[in-house]
């Protein structure tokens, strides 16, 4: 006979108060886990808070958000390898063609990022736009796969939500830079629905889930690094 794990306050040997505290602690842990499954907004109060933040603070928020997003992609990639790619030969294979390969990105330390600030901003916006639909598709695919556990489904949804929040946060950074005259207003056009659809190619529809996750982990790392570089170029007096 299975033992009831819930405490009856009338039968609790230490009294109703102790039992109530125990129940409250269980609820607190459970509720905190549920709240942790949703991506936190970069700016509160329906984004109004962003209006009063300095450009350096906005950069800090999107950089921290991008770091958490990349960390989730790393965790999920490790979990995905454990479930679906047990062979190291498969994991270490090269030549994966990501759907964002057509977006020219600066790479290699020898280049020292010769692109201008507006160009680097456009690269960040294009990368984020290109992952809007693929991440949602990836989450749906993971949620339908019975071989994967609930952890993977929750993490894939959180990753998609965080990318959505990061797109909005970077747009706030762009708007602040435009207000301060750092970049021209033409860069903001990348956030329009038409530009987002143009940046998001359909090649990802033919990719395996493992390749999508590999490519996003790579691109999320690029986005994080590019945001750091952009911040150090524009506000070098703040932590650079």
Assigned domain for 154 exists = yes
pLDDT in tens, 200-226: 556 667 688 888 999 999 999 999 999
pLDDT given for residue 70 in this prediction: 96
Burial of 226 (0-12, 13-18, 19+ CB in 10 A): buried
64/50: higher pLDDT:
64
25/82: higher pLDDT:
82
Residue 26 has pLDDT above 50, yes or no: no
Assigned domain for 120 exists = yes
Assigned domain for 21 exists = no
Assigned domain for 109 exists = yes
pLDDT in tens, 65-93: 999 999 999 998 888 777 766 555 454 45
pLDDT in tens, 28-38: 333 333 334 45
Assigned domain for 135 exists = yes
pLDDT in tens, 158-204: 999 999 999 999 999 999 999 998 888 776 555 454 444 445 556 66
**Segment 42-64 mean pLDDT:** 81
- Region of 54 please: left (phi>0), alpha (psi -120 to 50) or beta: beta
Residue 64 has pLDDT above 90, yes or no: yes
Where residue 119 sits, what CATH number does that domain have?
Answer: 1.20.1250.10
Assigned domain for 37 exists = no
Residues spanned by the domain of 214:
55-86+96-234
pLDDT in tens, 96-152: 788 888 888 887 554 556 689 999 999 999 999 999 999 998 888 888 877 666 677
Domain count, the chain: 1
Assigned domain for 42 exists = no
Residue 11 has pLDDT above 50, yes or no: no
pLDDT in tens, 104-115: 888 755 455 668
User: What is the spatial distance between Cα 114 and Cα 16, in angstroms, rounded to a whole number?
Assistant: 68
pLDDT given for residue 124 in this prediction: 94
Assigned domain for 41 exists = no
Residue 7 has pLDDT above 50, yes or no: no
Structure tokens at 70: 């990349």
User: What is the spatial distance between Cα 214 and Cα 232, in angstroms, rounded to a whole number?
Assistant: 28
pLDDT given for residue 77 in this prediction: 86
Alpha helices, H only, the chain: 16-36, 55-84, 88-91, 117-130, 132-144, 150-179, 193-199, 209-234
- Region of 15 please: left (phi>0), alpha (psi -120 to 50) or beta: left
């Amino acid at each position: 006979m299975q033992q009831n794990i819930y405490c009856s306050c009338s039968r609790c040997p230490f009294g109703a108060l102790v039992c109530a505290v125990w129940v409250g602690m269980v609820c607190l842990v459970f509720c905190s886990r549920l709240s942790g499954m949703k991506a936190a907004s970069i700016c509160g109060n329906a984004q109004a808070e962003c209006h009063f933040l300095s450009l350096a603070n906005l950069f800090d928020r999107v950089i921290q958000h991008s770091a958490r997003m990349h960390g989730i992609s790393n965790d999920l990639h490790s979990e995905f390898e454990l479930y679906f790619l047990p062979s190291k030969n498969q994991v270490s294979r090269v030549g994966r063609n990501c759907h964002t390969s057509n977006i020219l990105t600066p790479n290699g330390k020898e280049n020292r990022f010769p692109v201008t600030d507006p160009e680097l901003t456009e690269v960040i916006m294009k990368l984020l736009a290109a992952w809007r639909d693929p991440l949602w598709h990836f989450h749906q695919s993971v949620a339908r796969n019975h071989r994967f556990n609930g952890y993977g489904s929750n993490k894939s949804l959180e990753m998609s939500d965080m990318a959505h929040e990061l797109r909005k946060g970077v747009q706030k950074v762009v708007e602040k830079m435009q207000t301060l005259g750092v970049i021209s207003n033409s860069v903001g056009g990348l956030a329009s629905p038409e530009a987002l659809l143009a940046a998001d190619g359909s090649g990802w529809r033919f990719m395996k889930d493992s390749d999508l996750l590999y490519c996003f982990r790579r691109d999320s790392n690029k986005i994080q690094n590019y945001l750091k570089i952009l911040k150090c170029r524009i506000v070098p007096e703040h932590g650079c």
